[in-house]
Structure formats: structure tokens, C-alpha cells
């Protein structure tokens, strides 16, 4: 569908705008969308650093929205949602433009596929995995996940697409009775092989970055057909009943 005007969106996350793991995401952003990557201020590098700091994220986001004239905002990072129950409600009440968060956008995407039991693939530690599981359970989605094999979540950046595919296939052999696969965290990057995984495994695959992009653009009234990056952005379903 041909869109009528350009959109300017913000992406606020814990990584630098130049981080290599943003590269695969940038490849499928629609041509009429300007997505501006910005780094959250005050982070220490720990995944647990954002606990109790949603007010500061909101303050920074509100200032950037005014300065950059953003029409929508993606706030990335599953850990900050899991560590701060009620973050979505807090951010939604404070920010007056459409927003998308990682976990909540992914839940919406999983709902479009009617997935109730999913394989969770993520490089975070077991404590955060359990928080993700609890978050998903709140929406009626059961998550199973393989044992942690990475020493640190940043080690995921060293993995090739072949490694990610092999890890996914191994995990699926252990947890075969699932209705979808969910990748949370851009460091464990499934985007280059997302469509291949869906075709080979005959399962929908949801990744947090495509899910956030689909949700924020849908909230802004846009629809696209983006080939090569999985069923979600290729079929562009409507947002399911929320709140999302």
C-alpha cells in the first residue's frame, strides 16, 4: 500500500545507535518511515539497571519527543518491562503519542497467531527468563525455554545465523509441543533467518523488533507488506484486542 506521508519515529534503547545488532532491523524499515535510534541516559550496562527507573526513561522520552518531533515511540528492552510491573500503564499514561514496548508488542504478535504455548529463545539469564515466563503467563501464554548456554547475554553477538538456527532446532527437539517460537532480545538476532525458520519448522516465529515495528505502525494507521522477514510483517494482521 502506498502511504501518503512520511512518519518520524523514535527508538529508545540501552544500546548505542551505532550498535551492530541494529543493522538487520534497519533493513526492513519501510522507506516512508524515519526511525531515529537513541540511547537511554544513565545506564550501567547491566540488564537489571532499569529496575525502578521508569520515571527517568519517561522524562527523557518526553524531551526527545518534543525535540525530535516523533509521532510514535518504540522503547526497547524486555528486561525493563519484566523488572518494572506496570511499566506499560505508566508509560501510556505519561506519553501522549503511540508507544510500543518489547514484551507487550510480542504478546500482541503471538496473539495474532493464537499461540498459547511458545518456545522462548533469549540470551538473558535464568532469572530474567522466569520473569519473562511470568509476564507471558499473565496473558495466557505458556513459555518453555532451554537451559542457558551463554556465559553472558552479550556473547549472543558472537553467534552466526547458523549458530542461532542450530540452537533453535536443538531447543525445538526438546520442546516440540509448541505453537510458536518467540525471540526476545536483538542480540540473539533471528531476523536474517526468520523466514527460513518459519518455512522449515512450520511454525510462526515472533521476534521483538519486527513485533514492535508492526505494532507502532499499526497504531499510527499504517499497513505494509514486507516480504522476507516472516509472517507477521508479510501478512500485517490487525492488532488483536488489547490493551496493547
In this prediction, residue 155 carries a pLDDT of 47
**Residues facing residue 72 across a β-bridge:** 9
In this prediction, residue 60 carries a pLDDT of 97
The tens digit of pLDDT for each residue in 197-233 reads 999 999 999 999 999 999 999 999 999 999 999 999 9
Report whether CATH 3.40.50.1860 matches the domain 105-208: yes
In this prediction, residue 214 carries a pLDDT of 99
In this prediction, residue 125 carries a pLDDT of 86
Contact by Cβ (8 Å): 150, 183: no
Location of each CATH 3.40.50.1860 domain in the chain: 7-103+209-224, 105-208
Taking the C-alpha atoms of residue 69 and residue 36, their distance in angstroms, rounded to an integer, is 11
Taking the C-alpha atoms of residue 87 and residue 64, their distance in angstroms, rounded to an integer, is 19
**In the sheet where 99-101 sits, what is the strand order?**
33-39, 7-13, 72-75, 99-101
Output DSSP code: residue 90: H
80-78-25 Cα angle (round to 5): 125
pTM over the 0.95 mark: no
DSSP output for 204-218: -EEEHHHHHHHHHHH
In this prediction, residue 206 carries a pLDDT of 98
In this prediction, residue 176 carries a pLDDT of 86
Report whether CATH 3.20.20.80 matches the domain 7-103+209-224: no
Contact by Cβ (8 Å): 146, 175: yes
Query: What's the average pLDDT block by block, 10 residues per block, for the chain (244 residues)?
Result: 79 82 89 95 72 93 98 95 96 98 98 98 89 97 84 56 88 94 84 94 96 98 96 98 90
Amino acid at each position: 500500500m502506498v502511504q501518503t506521508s512520511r512518519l518520524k519515529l523514535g527508538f529508545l534503547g540501552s544500546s548505542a545507535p551505532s550498535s551492530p545488532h541494529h543493522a538487520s532491523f534497519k533493513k526492513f524499515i519501510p522507506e516512508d518511515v524515519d526511525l531515529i535510534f537513541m540511547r537511554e541516559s544513565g545506564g550501567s550496562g547491566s540488564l537489571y539497571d532499569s529496575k525502578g527507573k521508569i520515571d527517568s526513561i519517561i522524562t527523557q522520552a518526553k524531551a526527545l519527543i518534543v525535540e525530535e518531533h516523533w509521532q510514535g515511540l518504540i522503547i526497547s528492552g524486555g528486561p525493563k518491562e519484566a523488572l518494572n510491573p506496570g511499566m506499560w500503564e505508566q508509560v501510556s499514561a505519561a506519553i501522549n503519542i503511540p508507544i510500543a514496548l518489547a514484551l507487550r508488542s510480542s504478546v500482541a504478535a503471538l496473539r495474532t497467531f493464537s499461540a498459547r504455548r511458545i518456545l522462548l529463545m533469549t540470551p538473558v539469564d535464568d532469572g530474567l527468563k522466569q520473569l519473562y515466563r511470568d509476564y507471558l503467563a499473565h496473558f495466557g501464554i505458556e513459555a518453555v525455554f532451554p537451559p542457558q548456554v551463554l556465559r553472558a547475554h552479550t556473547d549472543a553477538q558472537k553467534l552466526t545465523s547458523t549458530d542461532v538456527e542450530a540452537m533453535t532446532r536443538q531447543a525445538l527437539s526438546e520442546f516440540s509441543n509448541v505453537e510458536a517460537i518467540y525471540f526476545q532480545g536483538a542480540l540473539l538476532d533471528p531476523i536474517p533467518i526468520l523466514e527460513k525458520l518459519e518455512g522449515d519448522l512450520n511454525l510462526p516465529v515472533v521476534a521483538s523488533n519486527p513485533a514492535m515495528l508492526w505494532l507502532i505502525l499499526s497504531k499510527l494507521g499504517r499497513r505494509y507488506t514486507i516480504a522476507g522477514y516472516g509472517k507477521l510483517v508479510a501478512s500485517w494482521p490487525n492488532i488483536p484486542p488489547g490493551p496493547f
